[in-house]
A and B are shown apart, each in its own frame.
Chain A
Amino acid sequence: MKKIRILLVLIIAALATSSCDSWLNLTPTSGVARDDYWKTKEDVASFTTGLYSGLVGSDVSLKMWLWGEMRADMINTGTWNNSNLTLIKEGEITENNAYCNWASFYTIINDCNTLLKYAPGVKNNDNSFTQTALEEYEAQAVAIRSLMYFYLIRNFGDIPYTTTAYTDDTQNFDIAKSDKDSVLTKVISDMEGWVEKLPTSYSTSTAAYNKGKMTRYAGYALLADMYLWKENYQKTIDYCDKIVSSGQYALIPVAKGTEVVTDEDTQEIDTVTYATTAGAESLYTNLYVNGNSTESIFELQFASDNLNPFYDWFATSPHSYVIPNSDFINDELFPSATVGSSISQDIREKICSANNSVWKYSGLALNDKTVRTSTQMTNHLIVYRLAEIYLMRAEAENQLAASMTGDAQQAEIAEALADVDVVRSRSNAVDATDITRSSQMSVSMVEEFILEEEAREMAFEGKRWYDVLRNAKRNSYAHLHYLTDMCIYSTTSDKVYSLQAKYNNHNSHYLPIYINDMKSNSLLVQNSFYADESTTSK
């Protein structure tokens, strides 16, 4: 009896302790632990998809648009009160402003760094994972990371730069800022090292793959933009050339007609070109409603199960956060044509702003007044398209001409104007907005002309602030007046003078670092415009 009892106790003890083992070994039930991930090439593929879905997250995609427009002159606040936006528009930006929060961008950067750290190891586990395939994924991670850094540099100036993945608590998360020029140089060299590894196309049948993922041409577009910011014009031209000559992209054509009109003032008979209604409507529908058109190079893909964040911003106009600044648009950008004005107009006027709403994002058709409902916000955010490439190349060619003289200079300027004309003629731009052509064009007048054309073509696409700042800071702020002149339209009338005074300090052109980051990262130093060094209490 006793023996049996002892045996029974021992058996039970053995059983009990063995089961305790598994009780204390917990794995997460709703996710995959890293030890179990990074095993097959499908893991890498789905992680890369995760990078793209991070890009279409509501905070990142909103800021990719908002940061490029909120301090510029094309939008005004609507009647729906957004106090953070109002303060930014007035020039009263503080570190407490939620729109200065870069956290979502660094999340994506960290995800990219994570892929770059762990993906090479997958090759050891999965023999079907080729080196080319691995490099494709790595190149996409580098490209997305470079895109994120480029937005951060343009908006914050000096930023923390890291290529280390932060995967557990033992690492020190605090990084200090690095100088913006050195960060830009590093990001450009990262990108140049990997851009040729990006595939030129992901699918021969589905356009969405080639426009929603970073193809090699999207990489070229990003490089051209970065080199233009860095003021290296020959490189910008080279990369733009590669995109234009690739044969993959074309401007969406707009059918035109001609009509003979009698000029009302001078009684002269003139042949006037106008864009047909059908042509304008097809441009609007293909480029902005359907998306993934032949002109687009990289777009953020939204769909009915992942709507874009723009409903509150545009579609509820005038009770929306933002309405178009009709003073600037009607007076400066799109004055009426002089001859035949009733038929010949620049079609971009109605495309960008109609019914007191930013029409590119709120409408379903060009001439229909129906506004998108909250479930219809599936239109994509265009990050790069061919028209912008032409204008970037024109800007670079014109700046290159500044270092030339005589006939060579005029020839280079003529090339720049030819690129601008391609964009203008597609949209039936009117003579009133054209620059007077002569044999002695001046670089600075053409620079202004190209900046205006960029405003017309890329209206409300999240580019205006960057265009103005890039032109203003060129050659050590030789043309700060682009920024101070913009104040007249970009802010309320009683704040114009104080904003112009602030812009004289170049640090004010960048946003402050958000207060949460200032508090949690002890190595971060706030942008000196927003912090008084002598009385900072930290």
Chain B
Amino acid sequence: MKKYNIRTKILTKIAYIGLIVLVFTSCSSYLNPGQYRDSTTQMIDEYMATKGSNLDLYLSIISKAGLQGMMHAYGTYTCFAPTDSAVNTYLKENNLSISTMTQAQAAQIVKFHTISDTIPTSSFIDGRLPYANMLNVYLTTQTQNDNSILVNRQGILGTVNRNIQCGNGYIHKIDKVLTQQDSTVYQKFTNLGNDYSVMKFLASKLDAVQMDSLIDGGGGFRTLLLQNDSAFINAGFNISDKDAFYTAFQAELKNNATTTTDPSGMLYNWFAYHILPSRSYITDMTAVTTLSTKLLNQPLTLVYRNDSLLVNEFKEGELNDQGILVNRKSTYTDYTCSNGVIQTLESNLEVKAHKPYRVYWDICAQPEIEANSSYKKEGTSINYTVSSFSNITFGGSSSNTLTYIANGTSAADYQQKWQVINGDYMSLRLSTSYIKSMAMKLPLLVAGTYKVWVCYRQSGSSTKPIYVKTTFQEDNYDDQVLPIIANFSDEPNSKYTDDQLLALGWKYYTAKNQYITMCSKLLGTITVYATGQHTLLFTATNAAATNAFLDEIQFIPVDEDQIWPRQDIRGTLVPEGTAASNIFPY
């Protein structure tokens, strides 16, 4: 018994010891130091704190601002960090020192230099940065000839010491402290130099308080479009004699006046047309097609083509207005002020009252189709998925397809029963069971009232016709549903004359000769309230089984001839009374 007890005791002791040993050995494998490693990537503040980074003074401003914690935590920042010599120069110029600076002042500096997103220099363009800094001001960048970058028109970012990647963002070292532009747009305007004498002269004709409130009034941001003296010369004015110029200028304004002919009223409107109630840098202007101005209901239209940005280019129909170039290299391009931006134009911008004019819109003039090398070439038949079009939104499955077919526009390609304009048409099944709708972005329509005609080649049978309802949609206004349901399987009766057809809501739109399959149906009348590019929506209303062949949509002002001019297969307008031998194909 005794032996047994001792043995048990010893065994239990051994068991306990064994257990403890096991615990330690198994634990230690979890804490094997070789499998854990601390990241050596520095955070922004750690990089600034390293010896030789040349950013110690800026780091002390950051800690004065109480923002060192932010620069140490994980995040995505881009810091334009001024070097020590830059900070010293700034402090000396402004009689400041880091120790006497208040926290708010320091925070203001740091937040102006920091952007809450990562932007490497490869994403810089000549203009504003993609994101604003923490004070909601956009910094601008401009590449210099030696590949360095001028930031905010103040500091140079060299070719080395950029894109310094830290754990929470990028650092770009610059050689000056960036400061906010204090002047407002109006203050800057009053301080413009002699290059802008004409515009300042015009401003002097109005009350200064009125001008101040026009330019600086209202909350938010604004953009001022300046015209320097050579812009007025480009527009054909003689500016040597100010009074003679003013008379000529007023005459010009009167010519195009829409609402008032009172001289100071017109001048006020002219200035209002040069002010946009938005913050529009060049980057913003190239991305849109219209911008509203401070003149009610008078937007600007913008076209960006081959690196030229043009304002108010009107080249549709009989009008050939060249448009005004926005100057991208002047001193006052993308010029940031405290409450907005200043841009420069190269000619005289004024409101031009355009009479509504007819628009014959070939549906196949879509950028995706035009980019194809077989565009309009005979024998082309290309399938597109409905999702490939940027200017048309289709309803129904996104994998639905439509076909672009081109017959060619030469004399040999002409077929009486298929004389589609530009030799091409779109074949698609508009049906409640396939492509349910198509919302098309229209070309520019001037404000006015129009009759809408859809021109198509008859297809399908009368047993399962293709019915489509049309709606005209304009932003900020109610949709206008057109009264006539189009039937793309229908065609007019050949016994009727043009006038009889017109009374029935039909017409022929082809010039060479007229055949019932090439017909056009009146859908209704629309009112376009503001000039611009609006939307026309086709909605299928029954389950058609065949494809519709769509050629063109025509918008003809209500007071104009609805039938003439017609078009030949090359799209050329043919006026009434042209002899048949003078209509292509001859």
**Contact residue among A92, A499, A534 (Cβ-Cβ distance under 8 Å from B122):** A92
Q: Which of B271-302 contact A (CB under 8 A)?
A: 283, 286
Q: Which of B107-140 contact A (CB under 8 A)?
A: 121-122, 124-127
B147 and A497 contact, CB distance less than 8 A: no
Contacts of B408 in A (CB 8 A): 342
Known: A494-B283, A529-B146, A529-B147. A537 touches B410 (CB 8 A): no
Query: Is residue B478 contacting chain A, with contact meaning CB distance below 8 A?
Result: no
B371 and A92 contact, CB distance less than 8 A: no
Can you spell out 17 A-B residue pairs with CB atoms less than 8 angstroms apart? A87-B122, A326-B371, A330-B373, A341-B410, A342-B410, A356-B373, A488-B306, A494-B125, A494-B286, A497-B143, A499-B143, A501-B143, A501-B145, A504-B145, A530-B159, A532-B159, A537-B160
Query: Is residue B161 contacting chain A, with contact meaning CB distance below 8 A?
Result: yes
Q: Which of A340-371 contact B (CB under 8 A)?
A: 341-342, 353-354, 356
Query: Is residue B451 contacting chain A, with contact meaning CB distance below 8 A?
Result: no
Known: A531-B160, A532-B159, A535-B160. A501 touches B304 (CB 8 A): no
Tell me, in angstroms, the Cα distance from A516 to B125 when the chains sit together: 28
Q: Which of A231-289 contact B (CB under 8 A)?
A: 262, 264, 267
Interface string of A73-98 (1 = CB under 8 A from B): 00000000000000100101000000
Tell me, in angstroms, the Cα distance from A493 to B283 when the chains sit together: 11
Query: Is residue A124 contacting chain B, with contact meaning CB distance below 8 A?
Result: no
Query: Is residue B93 contacting chain A, with contact meaning CB distance below 8 A?
Result: no
Interface string of A456-488 (1 = CB under 8 A from B): 000000000000000000000000000000001
Contacts of B371 in A (CB 8 A): 326
Query: Is residue B491 contacting chain A, with contact meaning CB distance below 8 A?
Result: no
B159 and A494 contact, CB distance less than 8 A: no
Smallest beta-carbon distance A337→chain B, Å: 12
**Contact residue among B124, B161, B410 (Cβ-Cβ distance under 8 Å from A498):** B124
**Contact residue among A341, A498, A504 (Cβ-Cβ distance under 8 Å from B125):** A498
Known: A262-B586, A342-B408. A497 touches B126 (CB 8 A): yes
Query: Is residue B179 contacting chain A, with contact meaning CB distance below 8 A?
Result: no
Interface string of B397-441 (1 = CB under 8 A from A): 000000000001011110000000000000000000000000000
Query: Is residue A505 contacting chain B, with contact meaning CB distance below 8 A?
Result: yes
- The 6 A-B residue pairs with the shortest CB-CB distance in the complex, in nearest-first order: A498-B143, A92-B122, A497-B126, A342-B410, A494-B125, A532-B158
Known: A493-B307, A529-B147. A342 touches B412 (CB 8 A): yes
A502 and B283 contact, CB distance less than 8 A: no
Tell me, in angstroms, the Cα distance from A356 to B304 when the chains sit together: 24
Q: Which of A137-191 contact B (CB under 8 A)?
A: none
Interface string of B317-329 (1 = CB under 8 A from A): 0000000000011
Tell me, in angstroms, the Cα distance from A535 to B124 when the chains sit together: 22
A: which residues have CB within 8 A of B? Answer: 87, 90, 92, 262, 264, 267, 326, 330, 341-342, 353-354, 356, 488, 493-499, 501-502, 504-505, 508, 529-532, 534-537
Which of chain A's residues has its CB closest to B121's CB? A92
Contacts of B584 in A (CB 8 A): 264
Tell me, in angstroms, the Cα distance from A530 to B147 when the chains sit together: 7
Query: Is residue B385 contacting chain A, with contact meaning CB distance below 8 A?
Result: no
Smallest beta-carbon distance B285→chain A, Å: 12
Tell me, in angstroms, the Cα distance from A496 to B127 when the chains sit together: 11
Smallest beta-carbon distance A302→chain B, Å: 27
A505 and B586 contact, CB distance less than 8 A: no
Contacts of B304 in A (CB 8 A): 493
Residue in B147, B286, B307, B411 with the greatest tally of chain A CB atoms within 10 Å: B147
Which of chain B's residues has its CB closest to A83's CB? B122
**Contact residue among B143, B286, B307, B329 (Cβ-Cβ distance under 8 Å from A502):** B143
A497 and B328 contact, CB distance less than 8 A: yes
Contacts of A493 in B (CB 8 A): 286, 304, 306-307
Tell me, in angstroms, the Cα distance from A92 to B162 when the chains sit together: 13
Known: A326-B373, A498-B126. A532 touches B148 (CB 8 A): yes
Q: Which of B559-586 contact A (CB under 8 A)?
A: 584-586
Tell me, in angstroms, the Cα distance from A497 to B121 when the chains sit together: 15
Query: Is residue B234 contacting chain A, with contact meaning CB distance below 8 A?
Result: no
A495 and B160 contact, CB distance less than 8 A: no
B145 and A505 contact, CB distance less than 8 A: yes
A532 and B160 contact, CB distance less than 8 A: yes
Contacts of B144 in A (CB 8 A): 501
Contacts of A87 in B (CB 8 A): 122
B147 and A505 contact, CB distance less than 8 A: yes
Smallest beta-carbon distance A126→chain B, Å: 55
Which of chain B's residues has its CB closest to A355's CB? B373
Tell me, in angstroms, the Cα distance from A289 to B408 when the chains sit together: 30
Residue in A326, A488, A494 with the greatest tally of chain B CB atoms within 10 Å: A494
B121 and A535 contact, CB distance less than 8 A: no
Contacts of B313 in A (CB 8 A): none
Query: Is residue B212 contacting chain A, with contact meaning CB distance below 8 A?
Result: no
